[in-house]
Chain A
Amino acid sequence: GESVGLHLPTLSVQEGDNSIINCAYSNSASDYFIWYKQESGKGPQFIIDIRSNMDKRQGQRVTVLLNKTVKHLSLQIAATQPGDSAVYFCAEVESGATNKLIFGTGTLLAVQP
């Protein structure tokens, strides 16, 4: 069957290298920006989020950077592993009481052994 990864921007890295996945957003009013990971055949899974009043947030092996001036979000993955191979989506939560997640297009991360 056709993969969700077809036609997506692709980042190919060697195992052990650091990966940087970028995302541009358009809604300046969003409260939070989030990264989700989607493995083949599965639903998206939450990785990390960052509030709009922050510039940087770190998790386990991942760091998210937010540049509100140019409306840019990035996800850095340290020491990339084969299990990191997936499609990565940035998303934003609209202000208000609905918790609506609005997703970006996605980037396919391919980790070469």
Chain B
Amino acid sequence: NAGVTQTPKFRVLKTGQSMTLLCAQDMNHEYMYWYRQDPGMGLRLIHYSVGEGTTAKGEVPDGYNVSRLKKQNFLLGLESAAPSQTSVYFCASSYVTGQGPNTEAFFGQGTRLTVV
């Protein structure tokens, strides 16, 4: 049981290049999230998904797109990378409970992205 797996773990991009970060979870979780983490700051929500085929904007969605074509995968795309997108990106998933919000999200190991 791998949990939440992110690929790649590290990447360096030139300004203007595009790339896709892949998040895969094998826990059959409904909800998936993409966060970015910058030094001295907490995690900020980029986009999230409450189920296959659905996505929604989080706190800082500009410059990113996402897709959830399969329940187990959540892709984060950068169409034209900018230095401001240099960050550590974390994917997370959580499951539905029948008794209100679920507070325990499972996180991947992170992807360190540098845009030069």
Q: Show the binding face of A for B, using Cβ within 8 Å.
A: 1-4, 6-8, 31-32, 34, 41-46, 49, 89, 91, 93, 95, 97-106
Contact = CB atoms under 8 A, between A and B. Distances in A.
B59 A99 contact: no
B43 interface: yes
Given A44-B90, A102-B59, A34 B103 contact: yes
Contact of B100 (A31, A42, A46): A31
Contact of B39 (A3, A32, A43, A91): A3
A6 B40 contact: yes
A101 B42 contact: no
Nearest to A93: B101
B45 A100 contact: yes
Interface residues of B, number: 33
B35 to A, nearest CB: 8
Contact of A99 (B4, B101, B109): B101
Given A43-B108, A43-B109, A97-B50, A103 B42 contact: yes
Nearest to B93: A99
The DSSP consensus for interface residues of chain A is loop
B94 interface: yes
B105 interface: yes
B65 interface: no
A105 B42 CA distance: 4
B59 A46 contact: no
A98 B103 CA distance: 11
A107 to B, nearest CB: 10
Nearest to B59: A102
Contacts of B104: 34, 46, 49
B39 A6 contact: yes
A3 B105 CA distance: 22
A11 to B, nearest CB: 15
A32 B103 contact: yes
A43 to B, nearest CB: 3
Nearest to B49: A98
- 3 smallest CB-CB distances across A and B, nearest first, come from A43-B107, A7-B40, A103-B42
9 contacts: A31-B100, A42-B110, A43-B92, A43-B108, A44-B92, A44-B105, A100-B48, A103-B43, A103-B44
